[in-house]
Structure 1
Amino acid sequence: MAIATVNPTTGKTEMLIEPHSAAEVDERIGQAHAAAAELGRTTFEQRRAWMHAAADFLEGHAEGLGELITVEMGKPIAQSVAEVRKSVKAMRFYADHSETFLADVPLDDPARVGASAAWSVYQPLGVVLAVMPWNYPIWQVVRFAAPALMAGNAGLLKHASNVPQAAMLFDDLFERGGFPKGSFRTLLIGGGEVARVIADDRVAAVTLTGSESAGRSVAATAGDHLKKAVLELGGSDPFVVLPSADIAEAAKTAVAARVNNNGQACIAGKRFIVHTDVYEEFATEFVRRMSELVVGDPLRPETEVGPMATEQGRQDVVDLVEDARAKGATILTGGTLHDGRGWFYAPTVIADLPNDARLVQEEAFGPVASLYRASDVGDALRIANQTTFGLGSAVWTNDPSEQERFTRELDAGAVFINGMTVSYQELPFGGIKRSGFGRELAEVGQREFCNLKTVWKA
């Protein structure tokens, strides 16, 4: 079956691409395997020049690629172009810092281990498979590919099936910069074929960003074959607002956190937990701002919220909202399908959620915010930690003791104080609990796919 670009704004099929056959997949794995051997013999200086050249190419096509992203998955055009430029920045970051991140680490006192010298070295693993989602179709791939290639690994990409044009961009992006042929190869395959690729002896490791169910499947296969895996799965991030916060600024940022990328981001604020003393003030401003958002064609510069990426994704959000409504929750704004063609859903705020509502535990991957009233600081922490997820989090308070407590006690891979959770190439990214394991970005993310080798010399 052909892989399709279906425009979520219109529901129209824009392009059909034939998937790769089993023979083509085998050939591409072989190309990556051969390239990995070659990359392992290259220097940081060579790879740095190639990565900068690839970044220059990507930057030169930012506007066109931004439009492609918007057509394929529906985010507002300004956000799409910004995604490409963020990706360029990450490529340059790893080009310039990888040699330092992966430098040999000497033991200060080798005599303690009976050696004249002892040190650790970071070496590439070989071919790493990346299974990537559609919500950030350029950034998600680059944040894996740039550190992996700069470490001397080769990459294979199984991208989400609804963004095939973005996927094919990566089939030659890095070769355009000078990397050896096959250094990064796209596999146009279905999800059911991923296990076979992981099992291939030429593939050393796998990383996945996606759903909890996909993560379980990939982790199980990787475990069966004793291969390294890094997983970034779902999140239902808390956004806590306490009385000492700037309430107006918190409400403004909360809206941006919830509807960025049309509400389809793992680390977006989803559950807004507000101290009872400032609940009414925050809720009034938050609901007003959510209700005034401009929903429409994402190619228009004035649009703030575009369509959801897939029809099924919208239906999943509808099901969560209707479950909450049926169980007595209050819809403060939204909760309706947007008029016209495409997979639009009105920005929505839901309050008074009963404990048995699915939204209390499940992730709303769309422009839907859950609003909670906390009786005190301890209650806010309880609500924040009550889900099975632990990806990002945000707390708004100007009280140093509260900042310290939430930093220590929030169950999350990241805590942002008086701001919204964002991924930066300079900071480690990942979660705990059912949000996955391992880290991406920064130096620790690059080291995930390296062999940390100990060297001892008499």
Structure 2
Amino acid sequence: MSIATVNPATGETLQTFAALTKEEIEERILAADAAYRGYRTTSFAHRQERMRQAARLLEEDLEAVARMMTLEMGKTLVAARAEAAKCVKAMRWYAEHAEELLADEHPSLADVKDSGGARVLVRYRPLGPVLAVMPWNFPLWQVVRFAAPALMAGNVGLLKHASNVPQTAVYLEDLFRRAGFADGCFQTLLIGTGAVEEVLRDPRVVAATLTGSEPAGRSVASVAGDEIKKTVLELGGSDPYLVLPSADVERAAKVGVTARVQNNGQSCIAAKRFIVHAKVYDDFVEQFVRGMSRLAVGDPMDEATDVGPLSSERGRESLEELVEDARERGASVLCGGRRPAGRTAGWYYEPTVLADISARMRIDQEEAFGPVATLYRASDLDEALRLANDTPFGLSSNVWTRDADEQERCVRDLEAGGIYFNGMTASHPGFPFGGVKRSGYGRELAAHGLHEFCNVTTVWHGEPVMY
């Protein structure tokens, strides 16, 4: 795959980039290693000011950055602005909270005494250069949610971004440089997928994080495992959206539309499988299908557009294959199910709702990465939970119920890294984010994401410390 910006709304190639040579890759890894040796000893105050400056600069650049993301991967301009603003928020959150979250921890005096020590503490120390392999769907946010905690912890970053968002990748390196981070603290590697293994095997690269497809996760995890290096993986999901009898059905249907088509439907945490109790099924489906049918599909630069194009021609073809397989095996198409009429350019696909889903259909187990929702009818909570967990993924989940016992049951039994009641899943810098099963392992954001790439060090003193 070439490293290029191709406008998904038109199919036009706007800019191409040359991949780094082996010599250039070596120069960047060498620079990262050298930068880490100095940066790891900097104060929190120093890192905090640099991160705050990065947030200020991004805020100033927000409109230009939003347009760049829209041109590169097709998200609506409204969504792109929101993504950039979310990154500003995360940078400021980590600048404000990192020091307290990385403060020394002190075990209980009883345990210290029992160990025979005079004083014990646990210190969070940085690891070194971390490789981040990031996807195109949230080209700024996915990177910042790694970079902000990693840099505040004293690590340095090497970014291998998706090949269709090179301008965003280059911008991110420039942003951290302009913010005052030392040369080598955060660098973009314009390389193809085939070059990732060699970078990851380099002994100066100590860990990796990846957000992307299941095959990509397997590849990175296997190499990192062979090298005994820490990894954090977020590999997508097929999130359930449960609607139970006590739900506000009108609100659940309205939010459900947004939850499905956010980012043109290309979101790991988008609601994908709508599991609705039989008592409210007809009411929900009527309102949900009506809402999906009314969405405006069009130019993502137009403020009135609800759903823009998919990011690539292959992405649209993959979605079409899933829908056609379901249709051929008996699924009912309640709306959409095709390319918009009259559009000869761009990779658009109509918001689609499929019902009568069976286990014979690929879409029952595979993630649909686009504006396609599947409907399931559940006779009771037991069946709803069984359907919700009947997937290889376990990233997040949404449940609409006002019943406290049902909520507690869902917290106990849903196999997911997140459970959102009476609302849609949305990541926040203060809450841990990640999944189980084939959605990956490890956590991003909050203190958990900050600690993932730290050397959690026990410091034991056998004699009183002189001050």
Using the size of structure 1 for normalisation, the TM-score is: 0.99
Q: Tell me what 2:66 maps to.
A: 66
- Whether the 8 Å CA contact 1:297–1:303 is kept in 2: the answer is yes
Counterpart residue number, 1:54: 54
Q: What is the CA distance between 1:376 and its match in structure 2?
A: 0.7
Q: Which deviations, in whole Å up to 9, do the C-alpha atoms of 1:366-425 show, x marking residues without a partner?
A: 000000000111000000000010000000000000011001100000000001011111
Q: What is aligned with 2:30?
A: 30
- Superposed, 1:352-391 pairs within 5 Å as 352-391=356-395
Aligned-partner residue type, residue 39 of structure 1: Y
Q: Secondary structure at the match of 2:431?
A: coil
Q: Is the contact between residue 354 and residue 373 of structure 2 (CA under 8 Å) also seen in structure 1?
A: yes
Question: Where does residue 261 of structure 1 map in the other structure?
Answer: 263
Please state if 1:327 is matched with 2:340.
Answer: no
Take 1:234 and 1:144, find their aligned partners in 2: how far apart are those partners?
16
CA–CA distance in structure 2, aligned partners of residues 123 and 60 of structure 1: 33
Please say if residues 87 and 143 of structure 1, whose CA atoms lie closer than 8 Å, have aligned partners that are also in contact: yes
**Does the 8 A contact of 1:102 with 1:122 survive in 2?**
yes
Cα offsets for 1:75-127 (capped at 9, x unmatched): 11011011001001000110111001100001121212111100100000000
Rounded to whole Å, the distance in 2 between the matches of 1:75 and 1:174 is: 24
Question: Residue 139 of structure 1 aligns with which residue?
Answer: 141
Q: Distance in 2 between matches of 1:247 and 1:53?
A: 44
Q: How does 1:154-169 map to 2 (within 5 A)?
A: 154-169=156-171
How many Å separate the matches in 2 of 1:173 and 1:297? 28
Please show how residues 214-229 of structure 1 align to structure 2 within 5 Å: 214-229=216-231
SS at match of 2:173: coil
Query: What is the Cα deviation at residue 2 of structure 1?
Result: 5.0
Shift in Å, 1:253: 0.3
Aligned match of 1:245: 247
| One-letter amino acid of the counterpart of residue 401, structure 1 | D
Aligned to 2:281: 279
Alignment TM-score, normalising by the size of structure 2? 0.97
Residue 114 of structure 1 aligns with which residue? Answer: 116
- 1:441 matches 2:428: no
User: 2:81 matched to which residue of 1?
Assistant: 81
Partner of 2:177: 175
Contact 2:2 2:163 in 1 (8 A): no
Please say if residues 107 and 117 of structure 1, whose CA atoms lie closer than 8 Å, have aligned partners that are also in contact: no
Deviating beyond 3 angstroms after TM superposition, the runs of 4 or more aligned structure 1 residues are: none
In structure 2, how many angstroms separate the alpha carbons of the residues matched to 1:293 and 1:55?
A: 33
Matches within 5 A, 1:399-418: 399-418=403-422
Distance across 1 between alignment mates of 2:172 and 2:65 = 12
Shift of 1:45: 0.5
C-alpha separation in 2, matches of 1:184 and 1:37: 14
Tell me, yes or no, if structure 1 residue 188 matches structure 2 residue 187. Answer: no
Moved more, 107-116 or 266-275: 107-116
Q: In structure 1, what is the Cα distance between the partners aligned to 2:80 and 2:195?
A: 29
Report matched runs for 1:86-105 at 5 Å: 86-105=86-105
Alpha-carbon distance between aligned partners in 2 of 1:354 and 1:269, rounded to the nearest angstrom: 18
Query: 1:75 & 1:346 partners in 2: Cα distance?
Result: 15
For residue 232 of structure 2, give the secondary structure of its aligned residue in structure 1: strand
2:315 is paired with a residue whose SS is helix
Aligned to 1:294: 296
Listed as ranges, the gaps of 5+ residues in structure 2 are 463-467
In structure 2, what is the equivalent of residue 451 of structure 1? 455
Q: Which residue of 2 aligns with 1:422?
A: 426
Q: Conserved in 1, the CA contact under 8 Å of 2:87 and 2:144?
A: yes
Residues of 1 paired with 2:386 and 2:126: CA distance?
A: 42
Alignment correspondent of 2:465 = none
Taking the aligned partners of 2:36 and 2:360, their CA distance within structure 1 comes to 50
CA distance in 1, matches of 2:40, 2:143: 21
Shift of 1:234: 1.6
The worse-fitting range, judged by mean Cα deviation, of 234-243 and 338-347 is 338-347
The size of the alignment, in residue pairs, is 458
Higher deviation after alignment, 228-237 or 107-116: 107-116
CA shift for structure 1 position 349: 0.1
Query: What letter corresponds to residue 429 of structure 1 in structure 2?
Result: F
Shift of 1:172: 2.2
CA deviations 1:237-286 (Å, max 9, x no partner) are: 00000010000000000000000000000011000000000000000000
2:237 to 232, 235, 245: 235
Q: CA deviation at 1:176?
A: 1.0
Is 1:42 aligned with 2:42? yes
SS at match of 2:438: helix
RMSD: 0.7
The counterpart of 1:392, out of the listed 380, 393, 396, is: 396
CA distance in 2, matches of 1:323, 1:400: 39
**Same amino acid, percent of matched pairs:** 57
Structure 1: gaps of 5 or more residues: none
SS in 1 for 2:460: strand
